[in-house]
Structure formats: C-alpha cells, structure tokens
Amino acid sequence: MLFEFTAEPTGKAYRTLLQMCLETNDRFELTSYNDCKDIYTTRYHQVMAALAPDLINSKAGHANALNTMGGWHTLVLYRYQANSVTGRVLKRATTSLYDWGRYASDKLPDDLTFYQAGVPTLMVLGHEEYACMRTQTKKDRKRLLAIPGLELAPREDWLDD
C-alpha cells in the first residue's frame, strides 16, 4: 500500500522513519542533478564522502524512482548499502526529510529513495516537498502507522498488498 506524507517528517519522526527504512530495506539511493553542480556545497561533499565506503555503484541517466527528466536534464544515481554506518550519516546530516533535495544555501544530495529487494519503498522529492512510502507487508504498514508524529494519507489506488 502507498502512503503520501501530508506533512514533512522532522525530528524524532524523521529519525524513527529512517531507522525503520534501514532495518527493512537493503539499499538506498541519492541523486545528483548535473545542472545543480554549482549549488552543491561543503555539506553535500561531506555526506557523499562519508557514504563513499558503502557505495554499491553510480549510474548516469534521466530518471529516478519519482522523477523522469525526459532528457531535459541529466542526473547521477548513487546506490548505497543500507546499514548502521550509512544510517548514522543520514541521521546526522539533517533532521528533516525534505532536506534531501530542498533548495538551500548548504544543499544536501537529492531524492533519497530506499529499496527493498529492488522495489522502491520510501521516495522523496525534497524540492517539491513531496514524499511517499510503499509498504510491502502488513507488518511494515503497522510499523509505519505507529511512528509518532507522522502524518500520512493512504493512496487507495495503490492497494497492492
């Protein structure tokens, strides 16, 4: 089932959501947009360097889980192992889910997306202030809905489990 976030997860809700994703997913991905190179600053480079040991691969393209660029822009997808080390980096980098792509003076990488066996679960478009979460099991759905402070709306057209 797919849930859309109706308010940005911040603080403890953000950290608890990330912990759930780290425990239930095997990898995550961050996006770098080639036309944004000038706005990626020190914070961006610090996060990417801290995650580098757990990089699975990187790939240039025109689309990620939520964003199809249609050939107008190019991007690079960076895929990482989801584990306790990368989790600490994600939790320390910010306390706000939409910071992963939000336009800011000290910008982070874009479009945080977690994957479980190749299926995207948590998908974020920070610059659009949009995120959604796909749960694949009833256990995951119950766990997501039990996170204090999350504001979610189910998408009835995504009843796939």
The per-residue pLDDT for range 94-121, each reduced to its tens digit, is 999 999 988 776 788 989 999 999 999 9
For residues 32 and 120, the model is more confident at: 120
**C-alpha torsion sign, points 42, 53, 75, 95:** negative
Strand partners, 10: 96
In this prediction, residues 118-135 reach a mean pLDDT of 93
- pTM metric for this prediction: 0.90
- Structure confidence at residue 161 (pLDDT): 46
Supply the angle between the helices 11-24 and 84-93 in degrees, to the nearest 10.
Answer: 160
Where does residue 32 fall: left (phi above 0), alpha (psi -120 to 50 degrees), or beta otherwise?
beta
Question: What percent helix, strand, coil does the chain show, rounded to 5?
Answer: 35, 35, 30
- 69-103 pLDDT, tens digit each: 555 667 889 999 999 999 999 999 999 999 998 87
Nearest to 100 by CA among 148, 52, 44, 17: 44
Whole-angstrom distance, CA of residue 98 vs CA of residue 91: 13
